[in-house]
Structure 1
Amino acid sequence: MAENLLRGAFPLSTRALAERVGIAPMIAAAVLLLILLAAIFAPLIAPHDPIHQNPVMRLKPPSAEFWLGTDAYGRDLFSRVLYGARVSLIIGIGVTVLAVTLGLAIGLVSGFFRSADAVVMRIMDGLMAMPSVLLAIAIVSLMGASIWTVMAAITIPEIPRVVRLVRSIVLSAREEPYVEAAMSLGTSMPRILWRHLMPNTFAPLTVQATYVCASAILTEAILSFLGAGVSTETPTWGNIMAESRVYFRLMPSLILWPGLALSLCILSINLLGDAARDVLDPRMGKRED
């Protein structure tokens, strides 16, 4: 009986799960875990201060002292790339939490209450009509550059995408018999939203959250590269590439390493999102009996 309960709670065995997701998501998970650990333990791993300038050592090639070389100000590139992962992951995770939380709340209200749907969705359509990068640049320009401002500026364009996803799920689920039965029994609206409708959004939101995180990390790099992100003194992957573009022909590795770290991080998150979709969507494969 216990085995049947476990099988019902976890319909996919470990072997079946591995066969469905494939080797690529597992490698992506390992890479993302490595990046996360490097960001957390950057103060212990980094051999040098990422913001300490030493003009005498500028533009040095990789060596035993400077593993990836130095930039135009004599700062250790390896240390800066490590600390850049911190900013990218903080913004990526922060934007994901804010966008999913706010988008879930707004989407539940918009999908369930028809009177609010028209107003809410027109506002969401207006936000989606504006390019996300331009909207973020405008917000940062008005509020000033900081990690929290950049996080808020990236979150606002992401909310409508989450709202539209949640709204579509709620519009379908609210017509189900169990929801109609709860309404006929006089169940309060907050309880219906919390107990009956919100659980239907968990699987799609899990997949959507991975794409929001990857998009937020990429947008932060774009803003930093354009000079509209966090302070240029803060080591981020976008700032490192922006400062090094003048020296690209002289020393391409200055852009190669932060660009490679950014690409691996975003690719790993997207692969995990695809794997989550394959596992959570029953139409993507047959579950083990």
Structure 2
Amino acid sequence: MTDQTVFTPGDGRVSPLDRVREIVFSSPFVFIASLILAIIVLSALFAPWVVPHDPVRLTPAQRLKPPSEIYWLGTDAYGRDLFSRIIYGGRISLVVGLGAAVFAVASGLMLGLLAGYIRWLDAILMRMVDGLMAIPNILLAIAIVSLWGAGIWTVLIAITIPEVPRVVRLVRSVVLSAREEPYVEAAIAAGSSTWLIMRRHLLPNTIAPLIIQGTYICASAILVEAILSFLGAGINPETPSWGNIMAEGRIYFQINPGIVLWPGIVVSVAILAINLLGDAVRDALDPRMAKRGIDR
């Protein structure tokens, strides 16, 4: 019987804190990305204590003000502080991004394990997956929001559903390869149950690929939420979100381009930071990467 060699954070080789430190300091780019992402997350979590102004308070006398000591990034067409609205908008984007990643990975993992290991389910599940993947993400999300109405839960579901098939196909491909390994064949010959084989022998192989896929889904969900809100098919316009801020400011772009540029820059930086950090985590969890580190 051939032993399965999979590195996971809890295998006793290094402490979780040491592993986090190794990931964060693996390169200057990853360190900067981690720092930026930490600032965005902490700012969103502690928004009531960070923002200098009420993000929804209307002050028409201060509309379209340029950046100043009072309004760091200026104000929008209703006199609301742009910096405060961007900070509060991060709450919506991070909740949608993290929620979509968790739900899509959890759902796709289970379906992918079933499709990859149970042969008679494979054809049924994969035809359903192919049908969903044939519909563009944005169009499917807009259709779901149009049917169920705007709201954070509707947007979250609309973003999650198109991502599940991609996770299913990823997990299925890993399982199809792993189930032919000698240790899986030995477990089958020994009479191990299907669920035990999935949990003990197949599931660990999916961890590293799912890490990078989960970060991609999180970044993609933040972008899709901004697009939906910008098109008026996402979060309620009264709720501060990065997409809503840009949607409201596009009419006044020539007068005050910062209303669109600043939230757009924050969206881009957040997505880039998440992807860089995801790549670093993937490299740390990949057994081949770990082996290269030992060889050096």
TM-score range, shorter chain: over 0.9
Deviation at 1:52? 1.1
Matches within 5 A, 1:9-20: 9-10=13-14, 17=22
Aligned letter for 2:173?
S
Contact 2:163 2:217 in 1 (8 A): yes
Q: Does 1:287 align with 2:293?
A: yes
Picking from 121, 130, 139, the partner of 1:134 is 139
Picking from 173, 197, 205, the partner of 1:168 is 173
Between the aligned partners of 1:145 and 1:237, the Cα distance in structure 2 is 16
Aligned letter for 1:178?
Y
CA gap 1:253/1:20 in 2 versus in 1, 3 angstroms: closer
Q: Does 1:261 align with 2:270?
A: no
Percent identity of equivalent pairs? 61
Q: Spell out, residue by residue over 1:175-225, the C-alpha distance to the aligned partner (whole angstroms, 9 max, x if none).
A: 111111211222111111111111111111111111110000000000000
- Residue of structure 1 in register with 2:5 after alignment: none
Between the aligned partners of 2:81 and 2:282, the Cα distance in structure 1 is 40
CA gap 1:7/1:141 in 2 versus in 1, 3 angstroms: closer
Picking from 44, 47, 57, the partner of 1:39 is 44
Matches within 5 A, 1:43-58: 43-58=48-63
Between the aligned partners of 2:187 and 2:145, the Cα distance in structure 1 is 45
Matches within 5 A, 1:1-289: 9-10=13-14, 17=22, 21-283=26-288, 286-289=292-295
Deviation at 1:7? 11
Alignment: residue pair count: 282
Deviation at 1:119? 0.9
Q: Spell out, residue by residue over 1:69-122, the C-alpha distance to the aligned partner (whole angstroms, 9 max, x if none).
A: 110011111110000000000000000000000000000000001101011011
Task: For residue 195 of structure 1, give the secondary structure of its aligned residue in structure 2.
Answer: helix
CA gap 1:148/1:21 in 2 versus in 1, 3 angstroms: same
Deviation at 1:19? 11
Contact 1:21 1:279 in 2 (8 A): no
Q: Which runs of 5+ in 1 are unaligned?
A: 1-5
Between the aligned partners of 1:58 and 1:10, the Cα distance in structure 2 is 54
Aligned CA-pair RMSD: 2.1
CA gap 1:25/1:19 in 2 versus in 1, 3 angstroms: closer
Residue range with higher mean Cα deviation, 272-281 or 101-110: 272-281
Moved over 2 A (4+): 16-21, 276-285
Residue range with higher mean Cα deviation, 81-90 or 270-279: 270-279
Aligned letter for 2:36?
V
Task: For residue 39 of structure 1, give the secondary structure of its aligned residue in structure 2.
Answer: helix
Deviation at 1:56? 1.2
CA gap 1:219/1:19 in 2 versus in 1, 3 angstroms: closer
Contact 2:55 2:81 in 1 (8 A): yes
Task: For residue 286 of structure 1, give the secondary structure of its aligned residue in structure 2.
Answer: helix
Deviation at 1:250? 0.8
Contact 1:21 1:278 in 2 (8 A): no
Aligned letter for 1:205?
L
Between the aligned partners of 1:18 and 1:171, the Cα distance in structure 2 is 30
Between the aligned partners of 1:7 and 1:53, the Cα distance in structure 2 is 54
Contact 1:20 1:279 in 2 (8 A): no
Between the aligned partners of 1:223 and 1:19, the Cα distance in structure 2 is 32
Contact 1:20 1:278 in 2 (8 A): no
Q: Which runs of 5+ in 2 are unaligned?
A: 1-9
The TM-score with structure 1 as length reference comes to 0.92
